[in-house]
Structure 1
Amino acid sequence: MCSARYRKENEAVISRLPPTKEERSFQAFLWNRKAGTVLGRTASSWAKIGLFYIVFYAFLAGFFSLLMFVFYQTLDYHVPKYTGEESLLRNPGLSFRPRMDYIDDLRPTIFYSPKYGKSFTFSIDRFLEPYIHRPSNAIDCLPVDEGLFSDSVCYFDIYNLNTTCSKDNDWGYETNSPCILLKLNRMFHWRPVPLLDLNELPEGLQQHINSLADPHEALRQNAWVWCESKEVEIEQLSPGLPISFFPYFNQKGYLAPFVFVRVLNLSVEQKVTVRCRAWASNIQHQRDNRLLGEAVIHFQLY
């Protein structure tokens, strides 16, 4: 009895002794033959913790998959979930080509030389590729059409545009009079409401509309894009966007109307700012915000 008690007391004392140098080594941490542990855990301990994490992550993956499944049931792959008054967008933004570099305090700047203008020419050419061939469901829309509400689309004929900008002259980028293309971004079920009061439009645009054969009819049939610059002259021969091309609702082959604007006679090293706005009754403007109907483009010729 005493001998057994003595052995237990000795074992208790030994168990409280600090581990030996061999037991504290990294090799012993990786594999301790005496304790039967790997990385400080026995086989049963590793099995328990492994089973726990398998069940835990399987539950998380299943829960996430269920949420995604429910979420995707609320989406339509052809129509945005929120349009019109429910959407955060009140009107489409004004976008332009060519694509450009951002220099000088991150302002969009077309920084080019007539000798090296091919990249800008290529940007416009690539944008116009879908316009070259007439879509199979395209129709010739009349200016007075009430808008598109079927699977057909209006045909936008790029070969009959009233502009001096063309592929033959490389869109002006081999001269000091480059062109820019402007259009409204696509926005579901949105249709521009024409401005019928000339006094609400810029003075230059008023003069252009008054020079047309029927100014009142032109006002009724078009939204407008008009650009101005304090440094150079701007050529805008056809600034109207026919309302008959709207609304957009993801029709196959839809091609948005656009206008060309030409900046005339840039001087070398001259920094030029061109400010463009889209005009319709239901287009809001915010200065320097192309998402709200305004675009500002900077030019510099070198």
Structure 2
Amino acid sequence: MSAARYREGEAVVVSRLPPSDQERSFQTFLWNRKAGAVLGRTPSSWAKIGLFYIVFYIFLAGFFSLLMFVFYQTIDLKVPKYTGQESLLRNPGLSYRPKFLYSDDLRPTIIYEPGFRDTALTYIYSINEFLQKYDNRSPTSNSVTCVPGEEVPAGSLCDFDILNVNTSCSKENDWGYSTNSPCLLLKLNRMFSWTPEPHHYLDELPEGLQQHLNSSVADPHMVVKKYVWVWCESDDVKIEQLSPGIPVNFFPFFNQEGYISPFVFVRIQNLPIDQKVKVRCRAWANNIEHRINKRLTGEAVVYFHLY
């Protein structure tokens, strides 16, 4: 059986028989002169399917944009959605610089050769880069000089001046990385609206920190409650910790303009050559846990290996 159609006054017979081998060829698929089809479709068919996908993707893009618009109405870009007890992050972590460390058996290890500055350039650069925002800071109108233990005026924030940090570490001596007595910079990670609850009794702190306070301040029992303490210990070497306290009035953090995080410096003294040394540092406050579900939170462990 055959069917007929007319094109420009001429009858064209369309066969109902199976296509020949030639008609099955790839060239015929690309351009079928008899049927007037390109890639198996006539121009009108391509126009219909093209129009369908244009409308479909316009609808899809509009639907997605509407969902994103509704989503952004529910959040504040300057305030986390969940804070405090509603958040999974209830405990600030203790971080450190230098941050570019070798990985030795999954242990963060600082490796360099004393006396050869080039072997420690990565560590020196890491601390310098972190401190750039402190060197270039411009105190805002709401920045005030804070006294530990005193309340901060409403709407103000404490100005952290790096020049007032009591430490023997400095940029001029390459933060100790040209010698075997390198420095570590330690800070609490920013956590929105978190306020530390300092210890009230001296015996709640580690023994080494108790001895330091007893020997360095007139009334250690009054000083304890004014700071979050950061204290490092090692079984192998001594550690210089001149100012282990971070004043409580630097908290909480509310994403204030001009806010920069306070920190402390410690110096690891006289590291031996070809011996791995473990240093454990912890932040001390009543609401800082050092381990949650076997994860380190309020503490940091760093290894040193000099060669």
Q: Same fold (TM over 0.5)?
A: yes
1:135 is paired with a residue whose SS is coil
What amino acid sits opposite 1:173 in the alignment? Y
1:168 is paired with a residue whose SS is coil
Q: Residue 52 of structure 1 corresponds to which residue in structure 2?
A: 52
Q: Residue 267 of structure 1 corresponds to which residue in structure 2?
A: 272
Question: Are 1:174 and 2:175 counterparts?
Answer: no
- Kindly report which structure 2 residues correspond to 1:134-213, keeping only aligned pairs within 5 A, or say none: 134-137=138-141, 138-147=143-152, 149-150=154-155, 152-211=156-215, 212-213=217-218
- Matched positions, count: 290
Displacement of 1:235 in angstroms is 1.5
Of all paired residues, the percent bearing the same amino acid is 64
Deviates more, 1:55-64 or 1:158-167: 158-167
Matched residues in 2 for 1:77 and 1:42: separation? 51
Bigger proportion of residues as helix: 1
Does structure 1 retain, via aligned residues, the 8 Å contact 2:100–2:122?
no
Matched residues in 2 for 1:27 and 1:126: separation? 63
Q: Residue 34 of structure 2 corresponds to which residue in structure 1?
A: 34
Does structure 1 retain, via aligned residues, the 8 Å contact 2:230–2:245?
yes
Query: Which TM-score applies when normalising by structure 1?
Result: 0.89
Displacement of 1:204 in angstroms is 0.8
2:125 is paired with a residue whose SS is helix
Query: Which TM-score applies when normalising by structure 2?
Result: 0.88
- Kindly report which structure 2 residues correspond to 1:101-120, keeping only aligned pairs within 5 A, or say none: 101-114=101-114, 115=116, 116=118, 117-120=120-123
Matched residues in 1 for 2:109 and 2:2: separation? 89
Displacement of 1:161 in angstroms is 2.1
Q: Which segments of 5 or more consecutive residues in structure 2 lack a partner in the other structure?
A: 4-12
Does structure 2 retain, via aligned residues, the 8 Å contact 1:195–1:280?
yes
Matched residues in 2 for 1:148 and 1:258: separation? 22
Matched residues in 1 for 2:123 and 2:154: separation? 36
Matched residues in 2 for 1:196 and 1:7: separation? 101
Q: Residue 123 of structure 1 corresponds to which residue in structure 2?
A: 126
Quote the RMSD (CA, aligned, Å).
Answer: 2.0
Q: Which segments of 5 or more consecutive residues in structure 1 lack a partner in the other structure?
A: 1-5
Q: Specify which of 239, 243, 247 is matched with residue 242 of structure 1.
A: 247
Does structure 1 retain, via aligned residues, the 8 Å contact 2:152–2:158?
no
Displacement of 1:32 in angstroms is 0.4
Residues 71 and 241 of structure 1: CA distance in aligned 2, closer, same or farther (over 3 Å) = same
Displacement of 1:118 in angstroms is 2.3
Displacement of 1:119 in angstroms is 2.2
